[in-house]
Amino acid sequence: MVSSKEGYRYENELALDTYRRTNGELLPITTRSSGNVSMPLPDMLIDDGETVHAFEIKRTSRDKVTFEYDDDFDVLPTDDIYQLLLFAQIYPRTVRPYLGVRFPNRQLIIVRLWPDNDARGVKTVREILDQAVKMCPIECKRTYTDNFIVYKPDTSTWPSAQAGDDVEHLLRSIGYAS
**According to the model, what pLDDT value does residue 33 have?**
57
Q: Percent of the chain beyond pLDDT 70?
A: 84
Per domain, the residue ranges of the chain are 4-173
Query: Residues with Cβ < 8 Å from 97, sequence gap 6 or more?
Result: 42, 54, 55, 56, 84, 85, 87, 88, 112, 113, 114
pLDDT in tens, 157-169: 999 988 889 999 9
Give the number of other CB atoms < 10 A from CB of residue 152: 19
Q: What is the pLDDT of residue 119?
A: 47
Single out the residue of 110, 114, 132, 100 nearest to residue 34, CA to CA.
Answer: 100
Any idea which fold 4-173 has? Trna Endonuclease; Chain: A, domain 1 (3.40.1350)
Does position 16 have pLDDT exceeding 90, yes or no? yes
Q: Residue 107 pLDDT > 70, yes or no?
A: yes
Backbone angles phi, psi at 74, to 5 degrees: -65, -25
pLDDT at 118: 47
DSSP 8-state secondary structure symbol assigned to residue 19: H
56 - beta bridge partners?
99
Q: Mean pLDDT, to the nearest integer, of 104-114?
A: 93
Does the pLDDT of residue 77 top 90, yes or no? Answer: no
**What does the pLDDT average to over 133-147?**
94
